[in-house]
Amino acid sequence: LSVSMTGSVSGAIAGALATNDHDAVTTAGFDASSVTSAGNKVDVEALSTTVLDAHPDAVSVALSASFGGVALSVAGAVALNTSNAVISAYARNGSTLSGTAIEIEASDESDATAELVAASISAGLAGASMAIGYATNTLNTTTESYIADSTATATTGNVLIDADATQDISATSRAVSVSIALAGVAGAGAEGRTTINGDVKAYANDATLNANLGDVLIDADSIHTARAVTDATAIGVIAVSLLKAT
């Protein structure tokens, strides 16, 4: 907040930044191993849950209460979320698994929210106001479950190789700029961007899979939801608003 009572310039600047950087590897598996469970199943699970939130807000107010005074106000806010993750469940490199059932499962649940408000207000005989907001979410994930160069035998149940991913991300950017002046200029710009780069894989490679009394099941499922919302409002004698959502 800036206030000028003389014939001079009143200026106010506000800025806010919130960032989250997430890098993770989650693995569970057998590598060149021999495992026997005579009366129970052999179960390999790699599970990952990620929650990212970035919520910066910036408010700038400049007032000039004198004849000939100029009020200048600028507000900017940036929210950034980035996640890089690998989730892997496996049996590989000559492993031998035997049990009533064999289950190799990898699962990822990711939730990321980037939301901001940038507000700028100027008031005087002459004034200019600018508000800028930028929100972005980027997820780069690989979820994989596999049996490679190995043997798996289920004596009574199923051989299951399963990979699941549920990813929900949103970017919301709101900018409000108001210039209350006889000669006032207001500008507002908002951008929201969401990106999901996801690989979900379930497979067998050079493997022997035996389900004596059950089934061999290989399944990969993914649910991706991405939302980008922008809202820019500019009020003044001359007013410009710019929006971009991707």
Tens of pLDDT, residues 145-170: 999 999 999 999 999 999 999 999 99
- The per-residue pLDDT of the chain, averaged, comes to 92
pLDDT for 135 beyond 70:
yes
pLDDT of residue 181: 82
Tokens of 61: 């107010």
Q: How many other CB atoms sit within 10 Å of the CB of residue 4?
A: 18
Residues near 117 by Cβ (< 8 Å), separated by ≥ 6? Answer: 57, 58, 59, 77, 133, 174, 175, 176
Residues paired with 225 in a beta bridge: 168
pTM here?
A: 0.85
pLDDT of residue 180: 87
**SS3 state of residue 37:** coil
Assess contact for 112 and 166: CB atoms under 8 A. Answer: no
Identify residue 129 by its one-letter amino acid code: S
Query: How does pLDDT run across 26-83, given as a tens digit for each residue?
Result: 999 999 999 999 899 999 999 999 999 999 988 888 776 655 678 889 999 999 999 9
Measured between alpha carbons, how far is 178 from 240 in angstroms, rounded to an integer?
A: 11
pLDDT for 218 beyond 80:
yes
pLDDT of residue 20: 95
Pick the closest to residue 112 from 64, 158, 80 (CA basis). Answer: 80
Cα–chain center distance at 234: 28
* Phi and psi at residue 76, to the nearest 5°: -140, 140
Q: Which of the four pLDDT bands, split at 50, 70 and 90, describes residue 201?
A: very high
pLDDT of residue 64: 66
Of the listed ranges 12-16, 24-28, 222-226, the least confidently predicted one is: 12-16
pLDDT for 144 beyond 60:
yes
Q: Which of the four pLDDT bands, split at 50, 70 and 90, describes residue 4?
A: very low
Give the residue-averaged pLDDT of 90-108. Answer: 97
Identify residue 196 by its one-letter amino acid code: I
